[in-house]
Amino acid sequence: MSSPLHDHGVISRYRQYLPVSEATPVISLNEGSTPLIHSPRLSERAGAEVFIKYEGLNPTASFKDRGMTVAVSKAVEEGSRTVICASTGNTSAAAAAYAARAGIQCAVLLPAGKIAQGKLVQAYLYGAKVIAIRGNFDQALQLVRELGGMPGFAVVNSINPHRIEGQKTAAFEIIEELGEAPDMHILPVGNAGNITAYWKGYREFHHLGRAKILPRMMGFQAAGSAPIFHQRVIEQPNTIATAIRIGNPASWQAANAALSGSTGAIDIVTDEEILAAQSWLASNEGIFVEPASAASVAGLFKLGRVQARRIVLTVTGHGLKDPDAAMMTGDYRPFDADAEVSAVRRILEEK
């Protein structure tokens, strides 16, 4: 049983703006309410007040939890006993955690041979059934779609519209905290669900009079994986930022609407820029994010000085999601020292 006293997730906070009713069981891990951190050093570089929405502090360490609490709650309401997805990353982690919380099954379908153990560590621990399909990713996704049409199954991939509904709550939180929408919002773009969700959230609160302005939505894709920027499907998307390695985004049209409706723009950043931004953010602001998230910061660096009063950057996932990529941002090795105070001090005094 859930206790109202301990239920502080996005459904309990924003129930009247979400597709839930009294009949919806709330499956929550107290996601959302993530910190909006003022960044003095980024503010100086941009010539604007810059805030970082740190979504890596959600229960499974990415913003996917906001959408998954709604998607899994609706799945349970509709009588599903199994949620399914085709994902090696943050979607499978969130689906598995919320399914565990709901006491239902989670199935993760993936192409055999392409399954990197490390990426699925959360899914395994949360108790998901990881199924290796003898076929490619498209075939796995096709199976997910077919199973989703059968009784008892719910698809929780990006095509599930409830995910966008849950994710829009991040924009609500930002408006509540700043007392107004920012002039500009920067975020990484993969399947483009999140840029769609933020734009929906900003417009809904604007419509309700909770914000007077709407931000320009600025999306950044990885250079090797930029279908929206190039306006064509990328057959072999490639980037270190695995969470945005998407060649044919599920919410492509909605993203275009967000970009044109907000007089925003989509641009690209290289893997080198992403890794540099990742280590910059960690060592200058104490915020450790995964490579995809660092695309926001790399994007702001690329924009340079910006005509805006306030800018919000979403950093989408925690740096500990992908320690191997993080270790590629530098030549990290300990300094050797004799077991003497003077030896340690000598190292500390070096430039």
The nearest distance, CB 336 to ligand PLP, in angstroms, is 36
Q: Which is nearer to ligand PLP, 52 or 243 (CB)?
A: 243
Q: Does 316 bind ligand PLP (CB under 6 A)?
A: yes
- Judged by CB under 6 A, the chain residues 58 through 77 that form the site for ligand PLP are 62, 64
| Closest CB to ligand PLP among residues 64, 101 | 64
Q: Which stretch binds ligand PLP (CB under 6 A): 133-141, 184-192, 269-277, 325-333?
A: 184-192
Nearest by Cα to 88 from 54, 128, 58, 59: 128
- What backbone torsions phi and psi does residue 252 show, to the nearest 5 degrees? -60, -50
* Position of minimal CB gap to ligand PLP: 317
Range 329-343 burial, b when 16+ CB lie within 10 A, else e: beeeeeeeeeeeeee
> Minimum CB separation from ligand PLP for residue 201, in Å?
13
Q: Which amino acid is at 62?
A: S
Q: Which of 120, 184, 244, 325 binds ligand PLP (CB under 6 A)?
A: 244
Say whether residue 191 binds ligand PLP (CB under 6 A): yes
Pairwise CA distance, residues 114 & 281, whole Å: 31
The Cα 108–Cα 124 span in angstroms is 10
Q: For residue 189, state whether it binds ligand PLP (rule: CB under 6 A).
A: yes
Is 42 or 266 the residue whose CB approaches ligand PLP more closely? 266
Q: Is residue 119 a contact point for ligand PLP (CB under 6 A)?
A: no
Which SS3 state, helix, strand or coil, does residue 311 take?
strand
Show Cβ contacts of residue 276 under 8 Å, excluding neighbours closer than 6 positions.
298, 329
Binding mask 293-312 for ligand PLP (x = CB under 6 A): x-------------------
- Of 328, 168, 156, 321, nearest in space to 243 by CA: 321
How far does Cα 33 stand from its chain's mean position? 14
Which parts of this chain interact with ligand PLP (CB under 6 A)? 62, 64, 90, 188-194, 243-244, 290, 292-293, 316-317
